[in-house]
Structure 1
Amino acid sequence: MDLLPFFGDIAPGVVILVIVAAFAAGWIDAVVGGGGLLQLPALLLVPGITPVEALATNKTASIFGTTTSALTWYRRVKPDLRTALPMAGIAFVGSYGGANLAALLPSSVFKPVIVVALVVVAVVTVARPALGSVVSLRHEGSRRHHVIAGALGVAIGFYDGLIGPGTGTFLIMTLITALGYDFLQASAKAKIVNVATNAGALLFFVPQGHVLWVLGLAMGAANTLGGWLGSRTAVARGNRFIRIAFLVVVAALIIKVGHDVWVENLEPLFAS
């Protein structure tokens, strides 16, 4: 008897693995971002799924978790929406543009740049232990503050629509380094922006029919639970916990994306 009839020909073991990955991804995303590191590769294990379908279904699952964690962070941290909401709106547009390009260009074109960016993020975070420990806003209340936030929003939104994994991580780091927020405030704002980037990508993917709805909604339920638990954990544990988790996720992203670059671009050169 088929215990998972709604998932068609997908093996029960693969369904369970993908749903567990979605729960873990929701927890990671809620704390420091980077949940796609688990969720997207797990989706690619589904037989017959295309890269665009995996990306679209990943966004469908993620928007449930990011919305849940954004609401939890907002209730507990009360981030300033005067920065977060305009940044989210611009990121929405950037993500829609990135999703359009995702259907045309392979992500391997951009992955070497992402590895370099992640290494820089890791080095800066380790070299500056006080980074993100306190709020020290730059250009507060000025037009420049919002221009910088908008530029960050459109750039990272575009990246999220195009590739995805690590978006929350990049958002947190840039909010800390460019605008002077601490890890707690940067994380709260990053969740709000991340909801918008997921929505922007889905605005393109849904009408194109790229979403595997049954799998995406099941993953969304697991992602929601993970997001709720992760956001409560992060808020309760504070800046030090978030910083350590941030470094762990950045290291894992460097290993994962670096491996992809090696397999896609360098390994064939050595094999020939």
Structure 2
Amino acid sequence: METVVDFSSYVWLLLLVAAFASGLVDAIAGGGGLIQVPALFSAYPDAHPATLLSANKVSSIGGTINAARRYLRHARLPWNILGPAIIAGFIGALLGALAVSVFPPEPLRKALPFMLAILLAYTWFAPSMGLENRPANKIGRHEVPKAVVMGLVIGFYDGFFGPATGSFFLFAFVRIFYFDFLHASAATKLVNVTTNLATIIMLTSLGFIDWPLGLSLMVANILGSQVGSMLAIAHGSQFVRKIFLIVVLALIARSAYSAFFSN
């Protein structure tokens, strides 16, 4: 186990602020890693990347569980879709985390801005999409295989690479299963908990984990998720949609810079 955190450093305090902001954004629309992962890499440039990614997963899983708990008080979800997606997401993330040791994630890193641009354009030009919750009208025998495929594919992506996983899940629940943005955000949190857990298990088994750093940031992440989920529940799907578009736009800019312009 590698430990990089210095609790006496002002850098750690800045990381707590980043973790809070990450939890807040992630609870509303996903994409909290856009804030927390760059902050970790800037704070500890000499640490092994897998150690910092594991700290991010440990931190974010606490906020994700808290957000899911709050959402479930206000959103009823169809478990015949959600259950298979959760199981498939866990399996997919395990396979993705294993694949990191064999295949380089570089092609995905370069493709990510373009995938996000398609997602942004589709959402932008369909202003009514995700504003009405209609999964009960669309559930049939073909929905379970769709949920399994969605969980496996996006779960694998989360374990293998990770950025924007929450945004991909949220979009999939809205577009494929006709959730509104609020219910899609709630469903995303539940599936994302399992993909985060699977990645943590795999990285821990490989020796890449920093529990002191991850757990300390988890506290701030949970506080942020508390605020974010409260805002989403209070303001509804239209608010979540707006934040989703902003987050995806920021993810496009960040991922494009990382893939094509950074050294």
TM range (shorter): over 0.9
Structure 1 ranges of 4+ moved more than 4 A: 6-11
Assess, with a 3 A threshold, how the Cα gap between structure 1 residues 139 and 103 changes in structure 2: closer, same or farther. Answer: farther
Q: Does 1:35 align with 2:32?
A: yes
The within-5 A match list for 1:71-150 is 71-137=69-135, 140-150=138-148
Assess, with a 3 A threshold, how the Cα gap between structure 1 residues 138 and 145 changes in structure 2: closer, same or farther. Answer: farther
The runs of 5 or more residues in structure 1 that have no matched partner are 1-5, 268-272
SS in 2 for 1:131: coil
Contact 1:59 1:198 (8 Å CA) reproduced: yes
Assess, with a 3 A threshold, how the Cα gap between structure 1 residues 138 and 128 changes in structure 2: closer, same or farther. Answer: farther
Separation (CA, whole Å) in 1 of partners of 2:172 and 2:126 = 14
Contact 1:26 1:224 (8 Å CA) reproduced: yes
State the match for 1:22 in structure 2. Answer: 19
Separation (CA, whole Å) in 2 of partners of 1:9 and 1:87 = 38
Separation (CA, whole Å) in 1 of partners of 2:14 and 2:103 = 29
SS in 1 for 2:135: coil
Contact 2:133 2:180 (8 Å CA) reproduced: yes
Separation (CA, whole Å) in 1 of partners of 2:56 and 2:102 = 18
State the match for 2:169 in structure 1. Answer: 171
Contact 1:32 1:246 (8 Å CA) reproduced: yes
Shift of 1:171: 0.5
Query: What is the Cα-based RMSD across aligned positions, in Å?
Result: 1.8
* Larger displacement relative to structure 2 (166-175 or 104-113): 104-113
Separation (CA, whole Å) in 2 of partners of 1:139 and 1:94 = 28
Separation (CA, whole Å) in 2 of partners of 1:104 and 1:227 = 34
Contact 1:94 1:161 (8 Å CA) reproduced: yes
Paired residue total: 260
Give the letter for the 1:161 counterpart. G
The within-5 A match list for 1:1-272 is 9=6, 12-45=9-42, 46-137=44-135, 140-263=138-261
Contact 2:6 2:12 (8 Å CA) reproduced: no
What percentage of aligned pairs have identical amino acids? 35
Give the letter for the 2:209 counterpart. V
Shift of 1:102: 2.3
Contact 1:85 1:192 (8 Å CA) reproduced: no
Separation (CA, whole Å) in 1 of partners of 2:15 and 2:169 = 25
Separation (CA, whole Å) in 1 of partners of 2:5 and 2:110 = 36
SS in 2 for 1:79: coil
SS in 1 for 2:122: helix
Shift of 1:139: 7.5
Give the letter for the 2:225 counterpart. G
Separation (CA, whole Å) in 2 of partners of 1:107 and 1:14 = 29
Shift of 1:9: 4.9
Give the letter for the 2:9 counterpart. P
Contact 2:92 2:153 (8 Å CA) reproduced: yes
SS in 2 for 1:133: coil
Contact 1:138 1:179 (8 Å CA) reproduced: no
